[in-house]
Structure 1
Amino acid sequence: MWCLCVAALLIICITHWVYRWRNPRFNGKLPPGSMGLPLLGETLQFFSSNTTHDIPPFIKLRMEKYGPIFRTNLVGRPVVVSTDPSLNHFIFQQEGQLFQSWYPDTFTEIFGRQNVGSLHGFMYKYLKNMVLHLFGPESLKKMLSEVEQTVFATLQQWSFRESVELKEATAKMIFDLTAKKLIGYDSAKSSENLRENFVAFIQGLISFPLDIPGTAYHKCLQGRKKAMKMLKNKLQERRARPREQQSDFFDYVVEELQKEGTILTEDIALDLMFVLLFASFETTSLALTCAIKFLVDNPLVLKGLEEEHEAIIKQREDPNSGVTWKEYKSMTFTFQFISETVRLANIVPGIFRKALREINFKGYTIPAGWTVMVCPPAVHLNPAIYKDPLSINPWRWDGVETNGASKNFMAFGGGMRFCVGTEFTKVQMAVFLHCLVTKFRWRPIKGGNILRTPGLQFPDGFHVQIIEKDQKMQKPGRCKGMNMVVS
């Protein structure tokens, strides 16, 4: 008899727990939605893959069912998902007041507990100013010629190959350039392959957080561990033998660490370096790969780019001189194309914040402590905002300011956490496009298909043949597929 009582009590407890999971306590009216399965929530559905540029099915289906603001549960946390431009803008504007930056515990493990994205208040502003020392306009003006030389030399190297996988090749180019400016790292002279650790890291970054040998997440953590060890060794070497003049960001960091009363610690500095190395090359290489794919599919856009950059060269006294800052700032159509590329690519599928106190918006209550996920793709691909949103149309940006964020454009974040590396990304993309369309042609060979899980990937790569314009296009060898020459 007592066994039946225990079993009945257990069933009641489980039923009550499941009910509380699905109907959390709150004041007011929660956004509609489902909390999914206990503990797991709707995590598996969120990570399910899709192969389109459209709004992720997980988001789109729930928008159709519940509206632009709905609730769910991801990785054991209650989440309010916002596809509403007004709420998104409100969240960004209330950073530090009603909301603060938040990442899942798994992200914190990956990026480090002292990473810039997880810090707040004065410390965040302090690190942001440090980053602007590297990526601010004055530094980028000095860096412009080096970026151009690196891009042109790289494109020339590619032109001797039968095929180049763009995502991997552009990632290596950008990583080598950024690592040199950050820590003085030269892959050609180093016995250690720093980027190899980041490749392992990236493969598991947006994956199910299962830390078991063999899983992508486990490999991700191991990649971080090895990369951090290399960065720590390099920083300690630099601190032991500081240089009189700054030649890279590490020199600046060492100076900050040596200042009396500094709030910078070695752990914070290393996490900052790690995040900067990752953010600077992975997202930009994805954007560049998407950009070239869009140009292959849209000859009119390519023509517009060629006309703009050929006009820049014609206006020079010396056609062979490098890109000037004035010329860079004049690349209006190029910036429109970059904005259109990142709008459609949606490299960042979600931006997370945490509610610091209970918030009421449009009749719904967001409880204190809950996570809010701003969903850029749902805004960028909204047909009520962008006509024919799945088409690439740089001309839609005529007369539109794209240097910052807005309610309808948040490819680089928003509010006080607007990405400080945005201008550096634009410099690299604009200079790459300038060199490519004025000096080279290319032929798509194979690949170019995308996969979102929910982050953007090119599972088969995007293989192209590059050649200088004054040489003949070679046959693509054994590679079969697209044969269109883009010039």
Structure 2
Amino acid sequence: MWALCITALVVISITHWVYRWRNPKCNGKLPPGSMGLPLLGETLQFFTPNTSSDIPPFIKERMERYGPIFRSNLVGRPIIISTDPDLNYFVFQQEGNLFQSWYPDTFTEIFGRQNVGSLHGVMYKYLKNMVLHLFGPESLKKMIPEIEQAALSRLQQWSSQDSTELKDSIASMIFDLTAKKLLSYESNKSPENLRENFVAFIQGLISFPMDIPGTAYHKCLVGRKSAMRMLRNMLQERRAESRKQPIDFFDYVLEELKKEGTILTEGIALDLMFVLLFASFETTSLAITLAMKFLTDHPLVLKQLTEEHEMILKQRENSDSGLTWKEYKSMKFTFQVISETVRLANIVPGIFRKAVREINFKGICNHERYTIPAGWAVMVCPPAVHLNPAKYENPVAFNPWRWEGVEVCNASKHFMAFGGGMRFCVGTEFTKVQMAVFLHCLVTKCRWEPIKGGDIVRTPGLQFPNGFHVKIMEKEKQARKKHIILKLQRGMAF
């Protein structure tokens, strides 16, 4: 009898728990949707790999079923997913008032609990100004010759190889450049390879959050731990040195740490260096690799891009001079190519915020009022915005000409490749400079032929699982080779 009573109580408790999971408490009316399985929610479906170039299947299926705004549960957190431009804009504009930056616990575990994305108010503004010291226009003007030299050097190196895997090779180039600028790190002079830790970190960054030895997520955490150990050691070594003038960003950070009454801590400083190293090379290398894939598949785009950059060379008074800031700013079609690449890349599949108090808003389809409960997360979905057929004709097509005459200086309701609101990415111009300078060097100095790979998978972040292997050839060497062959043919004719 007692066993039956206990069993009945357990069944009733589980049934009630499942019901409450599927029907969360809310003072108003939640947007439509499903909370998925208890504990897991819809996490497995969200992380399911797909090869679609359209809106991710997880999002598209729910848009068709529930509309542009719906609820779900990811990695154990209730969440409102927005594909609606107006709500997205409202979320970004109300940061610091109704919303604050938020990412799942798994992300903060990876990037550090004191990373810039998790900080708010005065501390966030303080760090943002520090980063602008590094990535502001005046610093970027001085950086262009370094970026150009790095690109030319690597392209020459790759041209001597039978095959170059673009994603990894470009990531290596940008990492070396950024690490030198940030902390004067040079891999060939260090006993440990800092980038190897980031490679391990990246492989598990967007994976199912299961911290068990052997999983990608566990390897990711191990990679972070190793990278942070190296950065901490560098910090201690730098402190032991005595420099009169700062020579890199790490020196600048140390100066800030020494100031009396500073709000910067060593933990925040190290997390900042970690995030900057990651953000500055991983996303940009993906974007450049995708741009090269698009150029490979669209010869008319490559032709116009090449013509723009060859015209820059022709208009120079000194043919041996390097790229200037004025020339960079003149690259109109290049910026169209970059805008179209990052629109389709959707490297960041979701931008997260959290409601700091209960929020009511009007539904789009039936004009009912919906409620976002306090503490719930909101995920703004850039792919749904960038691939919206109501805004972009034939949205999955690569068409740089759609940006002709369009000034893309900041985020908007229909373009958020670099975030939005007060957290618009401070490294946006740095990314554009790196992409534009690399493309300039590429199309003026080299040709390339695809060999294998180039397939794209999203999990939900962008990946090249088989890489993208190409054969890179210097144009001058090709021209000389053709000239010799032509002379030999003429000689044989006589």
**TM-score using structure 1 length:** 0.96
Q: Please tell me whether residue 398 in structure 1 is matched to residue 408 in structure 2.
A: no
Deviation at 1:246, TM superposition (A): 1.6
Is structure 2 residue 415 aligned with structure 1 residue 409? yes
432, 435, 440: which one aligns with 2:438: 432
- Give the Cα–Cα distance (whole angstroms) in 2 for the partners of residues 403 and 449 of structure 1: 31
Quote how far apart the aligned CAs of 1:252 are.
0.2
Give the Cα separation in 2 of the matches to 1:418 and 1:239: 33
CA contact (8 A) 1:53 1:345 kept: no
Q: CA deviation at 1:392?
A: 0.6
Q: How does 1:265-414 map to 2 (within 5 A)?
A: 265-362=265-362, 363-414=369-420
1:73 aligned counterpart, secondary structure = strand
User: Any idea what SS the aligned residue of 1:365 has?
Assistant: strand
State the partner residue of 2:112. Answer: 112
Alignment of 1:85-484 (within 5 A): 85-362=85-362, 363-472=369-478
Deviations 1:243-265 (A, max 9, x none): 11121101101110111111111
3-state DSSP class of the match of 1:470? helix
Q: What whole-Å deviation, never above 9, does each CA across 1:38-83 have from its counterpart, x for those lacking one?
A: 1110000000000122111000000000000000000111000000
* SS of structure 1 residue aligned to 2:27: coil
- Quote the Cα distance in structure 1 between the aligned partners of 2:335 and 2:235: 36
- Quick check: 1:106–1:209 contact (8 Å CA) kept in 2? yes
Q: Secondary structure at the match of 1:253?
A: helix
Please say if residues 242 and 254 of structure 1, whose CA atoms lie closer than 8 Å, have aligned partners that are also in contact.
no
Tell me the distance in 1 between the aligned counterparts of 2:135 and 2:297: 32
Deviations 1:312-363 (A, max 9, x none): 1111001221110011011111011100000001100000000011111112
Structure 1 distance, partners of 2:284, 2:69, is: 30
Are 1:72 and 1:80, in contact at CA under 8 Å, matched by a contact in 2? yes
Residue 307 of structure 1 deviates from its aligned partner by 1.2
Q: Distance between the aligned counterparts of 1:274 and 1:106, measured in 2?
A: 16
Partner Cα separation in structure 2 for residue 207 and residue 155 of structure 1: 32
Q: Which residue of 1 aligns with 2:487?
A: none
Residue type of the alignment partner of 1:164:
T
Structure 1 runs (4+) deviating above 6 angstroms are: none
Read off the aligned partner of 1:91 and give its amino acid letter.
V
**How many residue pairs are counted as aligned between the two chains?**
474
- Cα separation, 1, equivalents of 2:224 and 2:27: 41
**Is contact 1:288-1:429 (8 Å) kept?**
yes
Paired residues of 1:467 and 1:473 also in contact (CA < 8 A)? no
Matched to 2:448, the amino acid is W
User: 3-state DSSP class of the match of 1:354?
Assistant: strand
Could you report, residue by residue, the CA deviation over 1:250-308 in whole angstroms, capped at 9, with x for unpaired residues? 11011101111111111100000000000000000000000000000111111111111
Question: In structure 2, how many angstroms separate the alpha carbons of the residues matched to 1:51 and 1:326?
Answer: 40
1:64 aligns with 2:64: yes
Q: Which structure 1 segments of 5+ residues have no match?
A: 475-487
Q: Do 1:30 and 1:364's aligned partners in 2 also have CA atoms closer than 8 Å?
A: yes
Q: Which amino acid letter does the alignment assign opposite residue 98 of structure 1?
A: L
Distance 1:319 1:358 in 2: 62
Are the aligned partners of 1:140 and 1:424 in contact in 2 as well (CA < 8 Å)? yes
CA–CA distance in 2 between the matches of 1:242 and 1:270?
Answer: 20
Percent of matched pairs sharing the same residue:
79
Q: Which secondary structure does the structure 2 equivalent of 1:140 belong to? A: helix
Query: Per-residue deviation at 1:242?
Result: 3.3
C-alpha distance after superposition, 1:225-246 (max 9, x if no partner) = 0000000000111111131112
CA shift, 1:110, in A, is 0.4
Amino acid at match of 1:324: T
Contact 1:103 1:352 (C-alpha < 8 Å) held by counterparts? yes
**Larger relative helix fraction:** 2
The 1-side partners of 2:205 and 2:245 are apart by 36
Instruction: Give the RMSD, CA atoms, in angstroms.
Output: 1.0
Correspondence for 1:45: 45
Aligned-pair CA distance for 1:473: 9.4
Deviations 1:26-46 (A, max 9, x none): 011110000001111000000
CA radius of gyration, larger in: 2
